[in-house]
Structure 1
Amino acid sequence: MGKRQFDDWLVGGISYTVIALFSLSCVLPMLYVLSYSIMNYSDYLANPFRLIPRRLDFAAYRQLFHFDLFYSGYKITVLITVVGTLLTLLLLLLSAYPLTKPGLKGRNVILSFVVFTMFFNGGLVPNYLLVKWLGIYDSVWALILPGCISVFNLLLMMTFIRTTVPAALEEAAIIDGANELHVLFRVILPLSLPALATFAIFSAVGYWNSYFAATLYISDRALWPLQVVLRELVVENNMGMLGSSAQLQMMMSEARSQPFTLKMATIVVTTLPILVVYPFLQRFFVKGMLLGSVKG
């Protein structure tokens, strides 16, 4: 018993140590980013590895919030994230449920075309021409519709419905007089919430970090999402984003003194919303990832 207890204690100690080191490796960079964003740039140059700043300096945040395009970019990003995520979940549900029916006419042909698009893509030029032909170029819909549904997520959703929702529930609802829409929204939807929450996280993060589509389909600066605005601010240092000459002078004087802290502030501002929302969806995320794999 003594040796067994020692072995259990040793294995537990090693496991907790590894987990603690891994957690520290994940948390420490975030703490450094937050610390550098409120640290005076001269203090950072004096000691780049300092975690706790000697004095708080919010000049980087003031500089960031003085950009007019920053607020419009935040609004556009929130809009496309919310609308795109809701539309993605709706299309996933409406597409996956019928394709799980073996008796659906043309099901194999439809699935063949769907899976084909996962391996072969038209490319940038056909996608660009399609967006122009649909008349959504230079609009928020160009940032939402092209990436609204993923074939891989569709296949996962089909598998989740097949393996998780008992066929007896659907048959019972149909016997009680429910039509297909009632079965979909009153039986399938409640049971699929864990999977939908998982796909919601994936979709929301994708839309929130959307950058490349905006560079292709958006020329109006007022419709730039947040990531493009920050690229203009941090990478290209485009002074034309400021409105007044006083703001321009402030930017020119401060950009040379704290370019690094400005980058850290932008990272904090862009990642904070996702970090705040994720804990509320984490339990659904874990459940949705496991349910489909546990059942046959």
Structure 2
Amino acid sequence: MITNQNSSQPTPLNKGNAQNQVNQPHKRKKKYTPHGLSGFPNLIMNILFAAFSMMCIFPFLYVIVISLTDEKTLARNGYQLLPEIWSFEAYRYLWQMKDQLLQSYTITIIVTVLGTLVSVMMISLYAYAISRKQFKYRGFFTFIAFFTMLFSGGLVPFYIVATQFLHLRNSIWALILPLAMNAFYILIMRTFFQRSVPESILESARIDGASELRIFVKIVVPLSLPGLATIALFSTLGYWNDWFNALLFIDEPHLVPLQSMLMKIENNIEFLRQNSLAGGIQNDLLSAVPQDAAKMAMVVISTLPIAIAYPFFQKYFVNGLTIGGVKE
């Protein structure tokens, strides 16, 4: 038997290569950037995005400054980024109605939390049904959802159905049910379920005897948290900023949400302004009301809670919007 004696011994060439690899300095890895740029182009890109971010933040900061500006200074100098006289008079004026505002805040928080839960549940169930190919009528129900994006029955039929058939007038459900379903959100979740939930996992669960509801709760929901968080954020913004349904259906003062209460306060201020020509007493009353500053203060107290909560949903929000554009 002939054996290769040189097979177990390293050749001089291999020794040289090993020595070169030891002596060769390690190459620096390029720093990863999301847009693939480095150096001066990366600096320019960061400056542009920083400028764009400031353009988005600046209007809200400007509103905060105006709300803290003295009313006479506003009347004399107009809006300024650095006013001559700072004042909390607008917030003191709103604090005089603290009981009504706190009640409205409570109603708005209840409606927002409960409405978001109901909306996410209904939208996700509807979207999951029309995302499954084995569902016989998924084309019909998809068309029904899409049809409502193009055509509407109008305000009068909507009001009749809500008050005469569902008896929602002066009920907290009048602030929840009209916004619970949204066709655009349904289509977003349908696409999300189709792209992010593998059909093989669902088939394995069906083979093991799991029902569709169990599959949805135990498998689909945990895999779809980014999409559900996106829809929850959209629904939260919709419920928080809603004032129209309260204008239609709510007459009881203890059920008025925050946006409607702020609109009533603004209307009262506008009423004082329009009727300020009757005499000196009314002019004194009008001068004591911080008109423009109070309006900006109302914007601040209605926007600040959502602005604080948004960063906690931002990661899921971005993932949920971009997942639909990725093809397998």
> 2 CA distance for matches of 1:46 and 1:139?
46
**Which among 243, 266, 269 is matched to residue 237 of structure 1?**
269
Query: Which residue does the alignment assign to 1:128?
Result: 159
**Which among 291, 300, 303 is matched to residue 271 of structure 1?**
303
CA shift digits 1:244-275 (9 cap, x unpaired)? xxxxx9xx747645211111111110000100
Instruction: Work out whether 1:160 is the aligned partner of 2:192.
Output: yes
> 1 CA distance for matches of 2:234 and 2:53?
22
> 2 CA distance for matches of 1:266 and 1:106?
48
CA shift digits 1:71-101 (9 cap, x unpaired)? 2211111111111111010011211112222
**Which among 110, 114, 117 is matched to residue 83 of structure 1?**
114
Q: Are the aligned partners of 1:76 and 1:224 in contact in 2 as well (CA < 8 Å)?
A: yes
Query: Which residue does the alignment assign to 2:55?
Result: 25
> 2 CA distance for matches of 1:295 and 1:235?
51
Query: Which residue does the alignment assign to 2:144?
Result: 113
SS of corresponding position for 1:121 = coil
The within-5 A match list for 1:95-114 is 95-114=126-145
Structure 1 residue 13: Cα displacement:
4.6
CA shift digits 1:126-163 (9 cap, x unpaired)? 00000112111121111110121111111111111011
Of 119-128 and 105-114, more deviation after overlay is shown by 105-114
Q: Are the aligned partners of 2:93 and 2:290 in contact in 1 as well (CA < 8 Å)?
A: no
> 2 CA distance for matches of 1:165 and 1:257?
57
Q: Are the aligned partners of 1:89 and 1:199 in contact in 2 as well (CA < 8 Å)?
A: yes
Structure 2 unpaired stretches of 5+:
1-36, 273-280
The structure-2 alpha-carbon separation of the partners of 1:255 and 1:47, relative to structure 1 and needing over 3 Å to count, comes to closer
Structure 1 residue 279: Cα displacement:
0.3
Structure 1 residue 174: Cα displacement:
2.3
Structure 1 residue 55: Cα displacement:
5.3
Query: Which residue does the alignment assign to 2:22?
Result: none
The structure-2 alpha-carbon separation of the partners of 1:36 and 1:97, relative to structure 1 and needing over 3 Å to count, comes to same
Instruction: Work out whether 1:64 is the aligned partner of 2:94.
Output: yes
Structure 1 unpaired stretches of 5+:
1-6, 241-248
Instruction: Work out whether 1:42 is the aligned partner of 2:75.
Output: no
SS of corresponding position for 1:219 = coil
Q: Are the aligned partners of 1:160 and 1:195 in contact in 2 as well (CA < 8 Å)?
A: yes
Larger RCO, structure (CA 8 Å, separation 6 or more):
1
Query: Which residue does the alignment assign to 2:205?
Result: 173
**Which among 223, 245, 258 is matched to residue 191 of structure 1?**
223
Structure 1 residue 214: Cα displacement:
1.3
SS of corresponding position for 1:237 = helix
Structure 1 residue 221: Cα displacement:
2.5
Structure 1 residue 53: Cα displacement:
4.8
Structure 1 residue 180: Cα displacement:
1.4
The within-5 A match list for 1:219-258 is 219-237=251-269, 253=285, 256-258=288-290
Query: Which residue does the alignment assign to 1:243?
Result: none
> 2 CA distance for matches of 1:25 and 1:267?
18
Q: Give me the identity figure in percent.
A: 38
Structure 1 residue 197: Cα displacement:
0.6
Structure 2 length normalisation: TM-score? 0.78
> 1 CA distance for matches of 2:182 and 2:241?
16
Of 8-17 and 185-194, more deviation after overlay is shown by 8-17
One-letter identity of the residue aligned with 2:242: S
Structure 1 residue 32: Cα displacement:
1.6
Structure 1 length normalisation: TM-score? 0.86
